[in-house]
C-alpha cells in the first residue's frame, strides 16, 4: 500500500492489531447470573463487549486484553476471570 | 495599474486578493504593517476572512495548521524571533504537508536583539521542508505570493512556503507596484482544493506517529516533494508570465554573466545594489556578473553549477552566518560546484541591518581578485 | 442526541489493559457523536491510538504538537465558520499538555472565546514518557521526577486548579467528571459540545501503570477519589458552581493505600503528618464545593 501523504490514515486499521493476544486472564460471562444492566459494555476500555440478540453481553476475544474491569464492576458477579489456557 | 505603495501594503493587498479564509497573525517588527493592513481589510469587509489575533507566533502557525487541515487557504507573516518561536511548528507543518503561505520580512536573530534586516531567520529553517522564495524588490515580493499559493497547493507538492523579503529595506519602502486586479488573481489562483481535509463525512486521522519502520520513507517523500516543486514552480511562473508579463520562472536570475570573470552570488534586495555596482564596474572595464538566487528551497544546484561554470572566481554574499562554519549560502553554492576548481569566496555582510553600498561590492570584487575571502566583510576594528 | 451505541473509538488500540484514558476516549466519543473533529495533543491517548497506519479514530482527527491543540483547534474553528460547516470541535489532551506545556495556547484560545470543547483526561502525570510529575500531580504522589526518597515525600505542590483558571477566562461551561460515573461523563460531554464558546471538562482517568494498581481496579479507585473528596465532580456555568456530586466522605487513607504512588506514606513507616496534610486538602475541597452529605438525625 502506498505511503499516505503527511502520515495520515482512514479509519479501520487499528483492528489489524489483535490485542486479545495480550491476555493473561480471560473473562467468562455467565448469562444465568446476568441482569442485562450493560455496565460491562459501558466500562470496557476496548469497547469490545457487545450485546447479543437476547440482550446478554459477550466480549470479542480477538481484542479483549483481560483487564478485568468488567468482572470487577459487574453488580451480579456474573463475570469470572480465569487464567488463560495457552 | 501602477501605484506607489509601501511594500507591506502591496503584499497585504496581494494576499487579500488570494482570498485566504483564515488569517492568523501576531505582530512583530517589521511585519506589523502587513498584519494591520489585513485587519483593516477584514474590518471594512474588503476581505472575507476569519482573523485570529493569536497570543504568540507559535500559536499563529499552529492555528494555520488547523485551518489548513480543515480545508481553508490560510496566511500568516512573521520574522526573526517570531519565526524562531515557530521552529517546532514549521517542521510539523511541512511534515504534515499543509500548503501554508507565510511572509517573512527578514530580520536578524537575537542575541543581541536587533530589529534590522538580515536573512538569518529564514535561512536557519532551510532544513524544515518549507519552500523559500527571495524577492529583490517589492514588485517581486508582491507577485511571489500568488506564485506561492499556486505552488504550495499543487497536489504533487503540498508544502508550506516562505516568501522572503528584506525587512525595512523592502517592507517599509515605497516603490511603484503594478497590482493585479481581483479578477486577474481569481483567474490565476483557483479556489483552494485540499488534497484531504478534516471532514466528518470522510474521516481521516492527520498527524499520526511513525515508527522506525516508516519514518525514513516519510522523510524521503517530503524531500521528493520539495524537489518536485522545481517543476511546479517553473510551470506556475511561466503561466504567470504569459498572463501578466512578468517572468519569475528562473530559480536563479543571471545578470551580465555571459563573459563574467568574477561572479557574485546573492539573495534578496542586496542584488539591486549589486546590479548597480556591476554596471559601474563594467564601465571601468571589469567583467563582473551576478547570479541571484530567487528560489533557495528547493536549492537550485544544477542551475547554479551551469551558471557558474565559466567565471574565474565566485564571491558569495551572505546576509547570515552559520556560526563556526561559514555563510550558509556559500556552503551550499560550494556544494553545487563540487568537483570544480573555481574558488568560491564567502563574504558575510549586511548583518543586523548594516547598509551595503555599491563601494562595498566593488571592494569585495577587489578582495576576490586577490583571492581574499571567507570573512566578515567590513569589520569595524575600532569597535572590536 | 448522540447515538450511544456507536463505537467511534475503535478496538485494537495499544492502551494498557484497564486504561482509564482509553475508557475516557470511548465515553467522550459517545457523548460527542459522529459530527465531531477531534484535536489531540501528544500523549498517551495520541500514541496508543495512532501508530501509522493503524488509527483507532472513526471521526476526523488531528494531532500536531504537544502544546498546541488549543491553537490548532482555534484555526479549525475559524475555518469551519468560514466554510459554513457544522462539525463540533473536541480537544482531547492529557494533564501534562493542559496544565503545563499548553498553558499559553489554552489561555489564548479561551480568552478569544472560540467555540470548542476542551477535554483534559487527567491521569495526574506525564504518563506516556514514563510517569513524570505534572502540574496536575497531587500532593505527595511519587513520580519519577518527584520521587519519594530518604529526604522527600514525593510531589511537593498541590494540584493546579485548572477548572477555576478557565472559568476565570470566561468559559461558559466548566466541569469535572470521572470514568467512575460514565453516564454523568457522557452527559457533561454532550452539554459542553452543545454550549457555544470554549468549554472545559476535566476527566479523572486513573492510570494503573503510573499509579501502581491492578488494571481491574480503575473504576473502584476513581470512585474512591471522589468518595474521599480528593476529586470533586462539579459543574460551573458562567463561573458559578451549579451542581456538585455529594458523598458520604471516607478518610483519604482508603484512597491512598490502594496505589503504589502513595505507598511511601505507609511503608516503611506510617507518615501521619503527610496523611493529615492530604486529609486537609480533601477537607478544603469538601468545604469549598459543599460535597458532604449531611446525615439527618431522626
| Residue-level pLDDT at C1 | 52
Preceding amide of B311 cis, omega within 30: no
B275-334 confidence digits (pLDDT tens): 999 999 999 999 999 999 999 999 999 999 999 999 999 999 999 999 999 999 999 999
| Residue-level pLDDT at C5 | 87
Position B192 confidence tier, pLDDT thresholds 50, 70, 90: very high
A→B contacts (Cβ < 8 Å), by residue, are 3, 5-11
C→B contacts (Cβ < 8 Å), by residue, are 34-37, 39, 46-47, 50-53, 55, 57-65, 67-68, 70-83, 87, 104-105, 107-109, 111-112
Indicate the fold that domain A28-83 takes in CATH: Alpha-Beta Plaits (3.30.70)
**Min CA distance, B15 vs chain C (Å)?**
17
Burial status of residue B4 (CB atoms within 10 A of its CB: 0-12, 13-18, 19 or more): exposed
Question: Which option is the CATH number for B252-376: 3.30.870.10, 3.40.50.920, 3.30.300.30, 3.90.25.10?
Answer: 3.40.50.920
Q: Report domain extents, chain B.
A: 2-244, 252-376
Contact check, Cβ <8 Å, C104/B59: yes
B131-190 confidence digits (pLDDT tens): 999 999 999 999 999 999 999 999 999 999 999 999 999 999 999 999 999 999 999 999
Q: Are C225 and C206 in contact (CB under 8 A)?
A: yes
SS (H, E, C) C33-92: CCCEEEEECCCHHHHHHCECCCCCECCCEEECCCCCHHHHHHHHHHHHHHHCCCCEEEEE
Cα–Cα separations (whole angstroms), residue C202 to B271, B282, C122, C162, C164: 56, 72, 7, 8, 11
C36-90 confidence digits (pLDDT tens): 999 999 999 999 999 999 999 999 999 999 999 999 999 999 999 999 999 999 9
**Residues in chain C where the model's pLDDT stays below 50:** none
- Tell whether the model's pLDDT for residue B124 goes beyond 70: yes
C-alpha B10/C-alpha C141 separation (Å) is 58
DSSP string, B314-381: EEEEESS--TTS--HHHHHHHHHTTT----EEEEE--GGG----HHHHHHHHHHHHTT--SEETT--T
- C240 DSSP β-pair partners: C237
Residue C240: strand, helix, or coil: strand
**Min CA distance, C38 vs chain B (Å)?**
9
State how far Cα A8 lies from the chain centre: 27
Residue C164: strand, helix, or coil: helix
| Residue-level pLDDT at A84 | 85
Place of cell 475559524: C78
**Chains contacting C with at least 3 CB pairs below 8 Å?**
A, B
- State chain C's mean pLDDT as an integer: 97
C91-114 confidence digits (pLDDT tens): 999 999 999 999 999 999 999 999
Question: Which option is the CATH number for B2-244: 3.30.2320.50, 3.40.50.300, 3.40.50.970, 3.40.50.1980?
Answer: 3.40.50.970
Domain C20-289 belongs in CATH node 3.40.50.970: yes
Phi-psi region for residue B245, left (φ > 0), alpha (ψ -120 to 50) or beta? left
Q: What is the ipTM of this complex?
A: 0.96
| Residue-level pLDDT at B255 | 98
DSSP letter for C97, please: I
C-alpha B382/C-alpha B147 separation (Å) is 46
- Tell whether the model's pLDDT for residue B28 goes beyond 80: yes
Q: Are B343 and B371 in contact (CB under 8 A)?
A: yes
Chain A residues near residue B95 by CB distance under 8 angstroms: 6-7
Mean pLDDT in order along chain A per 10 residues (86 residues): 92 96 96 97 97 96 98 97 86
Q: Which of C151, C156, B370, B210 is nearest to C143 (CA)?
A: C156
Q: Are C157 and C144 in contact (CB under 8 A)?
A: no
Position B52 confidence tier, pLDDT thresholds 50, 70, 90: very high
| Residue-level pLDDT at C250 | 98
B337's grid cell: 560546484
A vs B, Cβ pairs < 8 A, gives 40
Q: Which of C38, C86, C85 is nearest to C63 (CA)?
A: C38
Position B364 confidence tier, pLDDT thresholds 50, 70, 90: very high
Q: Are C219 and C179 in contact (CB under 8 A)?
A: yes
- B178 DSSP β-pair partners: B2
Q: Report domain extents, chain A.
A: 28-83
Query: What is the largest distance, in Å, between two alpha-carbon atoms of chain C?
Result: 63
B197-245 confidence digits (pLDDT tens): 999 999 999 999 999 999 999 999 999 999 999 999 999 999 999 999 9
C-alpha C80/C-alpha B331 separation (Å) is 44
| Residue-level pLDDT at C295 | 77
Q: Is the dihedral of CA C199, C204, C209, C214 positive or negative?
A: negative
Amino acid at each position: 500500500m502506498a505511503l499516505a501523504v503527511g502520515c495520515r490514515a482512514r479509519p479501520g486499521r487499528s483492528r489489524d492489531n489483535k490485542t486479545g493476544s495480550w491476555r493473561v486472564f480471560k473473562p467468562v460471562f455467565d448469562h444465568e447470573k446476568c441482569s442485562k444492566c450493560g455496565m460491562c459494555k459501558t466500562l470496557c476500555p476496548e469497547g469490545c463487549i457487545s450485546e447479543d440478540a437476547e440482550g446478554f453481553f459477550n466480549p470479542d476475544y480477538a481484542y479483549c486484553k483481560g483487564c478485568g474491569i468488567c468482572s470487577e464492576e459487574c453488580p451480579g458477579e456474573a463475570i469470572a476471570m480465569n487464567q488463560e489456557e495457552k | 495599474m501602477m501605484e506607489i505603495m509601501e511594500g507591506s501594503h502591496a503584499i497585504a493587498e496581494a494576499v487579500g486578493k488570494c482570498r485566504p479564509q483564515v488569517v492568523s497573525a501576531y505582530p512583530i517588527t517589521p511585519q506589523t504593517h502587513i498584519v494591520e493592513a489585513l485587519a483593516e481589510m477584514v474590518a471594512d469587509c474588503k476581505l472575507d476572512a476569519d482573523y485570529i489575533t493569536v497570543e504568540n507566533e507559535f500559536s499563529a502557525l499552529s492555528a494555520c495548521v488547523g485551518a489548513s487541515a480543515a480545508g481553508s487557504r490560510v496566511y500568516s507573516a512573521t520574522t526573526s524571533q517570531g519565526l524562531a518561536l515557530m521552529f517546532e511548528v514549521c517542521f510539523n507543518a511541512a511534515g504534515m504537508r499543509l500548503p501554508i503561505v507565510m511572509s517573512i520580512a527578514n530580520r536578524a536573530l537575537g542575541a543581541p536583539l536587533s530589529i534590522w534586516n538580515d536573512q538569518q531567520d529564514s535561512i536557519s529553517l532551510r532544513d524544515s521542508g518549507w519552500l523559500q522564495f527571495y524577492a529583490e524588490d517589492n514588485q517581486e515580493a508582491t507577485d511571489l505570493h500568488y506564485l506561492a499559493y499556486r505552488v504550495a497547493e499543487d497536489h504533487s507538492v503540498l508544502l508550506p512556503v516562505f516568501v522572503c523579503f528584506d525587512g525595512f529595506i523592502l517592507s517599509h519602502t515605497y516603490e511603484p507596484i503594478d497590482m493585479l486586479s481581483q479578477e486577474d488573481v481569481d483567474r490565476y489562483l483557483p479556489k483552494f482544493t485540499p488534497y484531504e481535509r478534516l471532514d466528518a463525512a470522510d474521516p481521516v486521522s492527520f498527524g499520526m506517529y511513525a515508527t522506525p519502520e516508516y519514518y525514513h520513507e516519510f522523510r524521503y517523500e517530503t524531500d521528493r516533494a520539495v524537489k518536485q516543486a522545481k517543476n511546479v514552480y517553473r510551470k506556475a511562473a511561466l503561466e504567470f508570465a504569459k498572463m501578466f508579463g512578468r517572468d519569475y520562472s528562473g530559480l536563479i536570475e543571471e545578470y551580465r554573466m555571459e563573459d563574467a570573470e568574477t561572479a557574485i552570488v546573492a539573495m534578496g534586495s542586496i542584488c539591486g545594489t549589486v546590479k548597480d555596482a556591476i554596471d559601474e564596474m563594467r564601465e571601468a572595464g571589469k567583467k563582473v556578473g551576478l547570479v541571484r538566487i530567487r528560489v533557495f528551497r528547493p536549492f537550485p544546484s544544477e542551475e547554479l553549477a551551469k551558471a557558474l561554470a565559466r567565471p574565474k572566481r565566485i564571491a558569495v554574499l551572505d546576509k547570515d552566518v552559520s556560526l563556526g562554519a561559514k555563510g550558509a549560502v556559500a556552503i551550499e553554492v560550494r556544494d553545487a560546484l563540487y568537483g570544480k576548481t573555481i574558488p568560491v569566496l564567502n563574504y558575510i555582510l549586511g548583518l543586523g541591518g548594516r547598509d551595503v553600498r555599491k563601494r562595498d561590492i566593488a571592494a569585495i570584487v577587489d578582495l576576490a581578485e586577490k583571492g581574499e575571502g571567507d570573512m566578515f566583510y567590513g569589520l569595524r576594528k575600532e569597535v572590536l | 442526541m448522540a447515538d450511544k451505541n456507536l463505537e467511534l473509538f475503535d478496538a485494537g488500540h495499544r492502551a494498557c489493559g484497564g486504561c482509564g484514558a482509553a475508557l475516557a476516549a470511548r465515553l467522550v466519543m459517545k457523548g460527542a457523536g459522529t459530527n465531531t473533529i477531534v484535536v489531540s495533543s501528544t500523549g498517551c491517548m495520541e500514541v496508543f491510538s495512532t501508530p501509522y497506519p493503524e488509527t483507532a479514530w472513526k471521526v476526523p482527527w488531528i494531532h500536531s504538537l504537544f502544546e498546541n491543540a488549543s491553537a490548532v483547534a482555534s484555526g479549525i474553528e475559524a475555518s469551519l465558520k468560514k466554510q459554513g460547516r457544522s462539525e463540533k470541535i473536541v480537544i482531547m489532551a492529557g494533564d501534562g499538555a493542559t496544565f503545563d506545556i499548553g498553558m499559553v495556547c489554552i489561555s489564548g484560545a479561551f480568552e478569544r472565546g472560540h467555540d470548542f470543547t476542551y477535554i483534559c483526561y487527567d491521569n495526574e502525570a506525564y504518563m506516556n514518557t514514563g510517569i513524570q510529575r505534572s502540574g496536575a500531580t497531587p500532593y505527595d504522589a511519587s513520580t519519577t521526577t518527584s520521587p519519594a526518597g530518604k529526604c522527600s515525600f514525593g510531589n511537593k505542590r498541590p494540584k493546579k486548579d485548572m477548572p477555576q483558571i478557565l472559568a476565570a477566562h470566561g468559559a461558559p461551561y466548566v466541569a469535572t467528571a470521572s470514568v467512575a460515573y460514565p453516564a454523568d461523563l457522557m452527559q457533561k460531554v454532550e452539554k459542553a459540545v452543545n454550549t457555544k464558546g470554549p468549554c472545559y471538562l476535566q476527566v479523572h482517568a486513573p492510570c494503573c501503570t503510573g499509579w501502581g494498581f491492578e488494571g481491574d481496579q480503575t473504576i473502584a479507585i476513581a470512585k474512591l477519589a471522589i468518595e474521599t473528596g480528593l476529586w470533586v465532580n462539579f459543574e460551573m456555568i458562567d463561573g458559578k458552581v451549579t451542581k456538585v456530586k455529594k458523598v458520604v466522605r471516607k478518610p483519604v487513607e482508603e484512597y491512598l493505600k490502594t496505589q503504589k504512588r502513595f505507598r511511601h506514606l505507609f511503608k516503611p513507616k506510617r507518615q501521619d503528618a503527610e496523611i493529615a496534610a492530604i486529609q486537609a486538602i480533601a477537607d478544603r475541597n469538601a468545604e469549598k464545593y459543599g460535597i458532604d452529605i449531611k446525615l439527618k438525625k431522626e
